[in-house]
Amino acid sequence: MKAAVYRGAHKIKIEKVPEPEVKGRRVLAKFRGGSICGTDMHFYRGEWALKKGRILGHDACGVREDTVVRAVMVPITNCGHCYFCLRGIPSQCTKAKHYGLTSDGFFAESKAMLPRSLIHLPDNVADKEAAIVEEQ
């Protein structure tokens, strides 16, 4: 599959990467749309460090392959068990993965994700609108 891969400041390449492994409780989400935010621009300009080879993208929407339901792709996966998660503040999770930052992001044809990281979109929300939603 194709993905937008960070190769250094001012170097983002569309490359062929392996298909994601769908294992455990994960489901496959097919990318529909995404947006580029200020964080992405900092990486692009080399102002902030990012691991070379990282797939970019943390603002996106897609379609669950198993249910064909459109969804916002939540960019943070929390543990659900730390101090903050247990108190209803999952955005502060001490074990969180941040897609597009600390792990590969959404700017690929598909991504294996936990179902709780895919928030159903109503029909009246367009993909281009959903692509700027960053649910946390």
Task: For the chain, list the domains and their CATH numbers.
Answer: 2-130 (3.90.180.10)
Gap between the Cα atoms of 44 and 61, Å rounded: 22
Residue-wise pLDDT for 50-77, tens only, equals 999 999 999 999 999 999 999 999 898 8
Phi, psi of 73 (to 5 degrees): -95, 110
Q: Rounded CA gap, 56 and 50, in Å?
A: 10
- The span from the CA of 72 to the CA of 131, in Å, is 7
Please report the pLDDT score of residue 42 as a whole number: 95
Q: Using alpha carbons, list the distances in angstroms from residue 54 to 92, 117, 129.
A: 23, 20, 25
Please give the model's pTM, rounded to 2 decimal places.
0.89
Q: What angle do CA 39, 48, 2 make, to 5 degrees?
A: 60
The answer to whether 87 and 50 have CB atoms below 8 angstroms apart is no
Say if residues 60 and 134 touch (Cβ distance below 8 Å).
no
- In tens, the pLDDT along 6-19 reads 999 999 999 999 99
